[in-house]
């Protein structure tokens, strides 16, 4: 059964949360509140890390891609061998603003399914 984690993003931050049960990340979507055009220098990067806390498994950035307000954009999951989280293991999400004028306003919606076999 799928469950969701909604993370509101308005500033640079390192965020951690635990899933309510052993879970596998199956989707990472970013919905911005307004339009964010491509910004080669003043951009945001939102990264979801795998169960090792070090390796990126999903990322969103407006450095090379524009975002339309209110439209969900799905990131391609990578390193899927690290997308299983135990209920006692934290999932790390970072939001980085590359320079002073860079901003973000939106929600990261993570979709989890019941975990595959956990070690």
Residue 119 confidence (pLDDT): 53
What pLDDT, in 10s, does the model give residues 2-24?
889 999 999 999 999 988 889 99
Which residue from 102, 114, 94 is spatially nearest to 9, judged by alpha carbons? Answer: 94
14: which strand partners? 94
Mean pLDDT within 94-107: 91
- What Cα–Cα distance (Å) separates residue 54 from each residue in 31, 33, 93, 94? 24, 28, 11, 11
3-113 has which fold? Jelly Rolls (2.60.120)
Q: Specify the pTM.
A: 0.93
For the chain, domain boundaries: 3-113
């Amino acid at each position: 059964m799928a469950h969701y984690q909604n993370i509101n993003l308005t500033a640079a931050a390192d965020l951690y949360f635990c899933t309510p049960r052993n879970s596998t990340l199956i989707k990472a979507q970013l919905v911005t509140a307004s339009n964010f055009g491509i910004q080669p220098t003043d951009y945001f990067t939102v990264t979801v890390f795998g169960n090792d806390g070090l390796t990126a498994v999903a990322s969103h950035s407006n450095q090379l891609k524009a975002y339309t307000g209110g439209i969900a954009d799905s990131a391609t999951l990578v390193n899927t061998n690290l997308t299983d989280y135990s209920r006692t293991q934290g999932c790390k999400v970072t939001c980085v603003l590359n320079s002073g004028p860079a901003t973000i306003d939106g929600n990261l919606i993570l979709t989890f399914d019941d975990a595959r076999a956990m070690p």
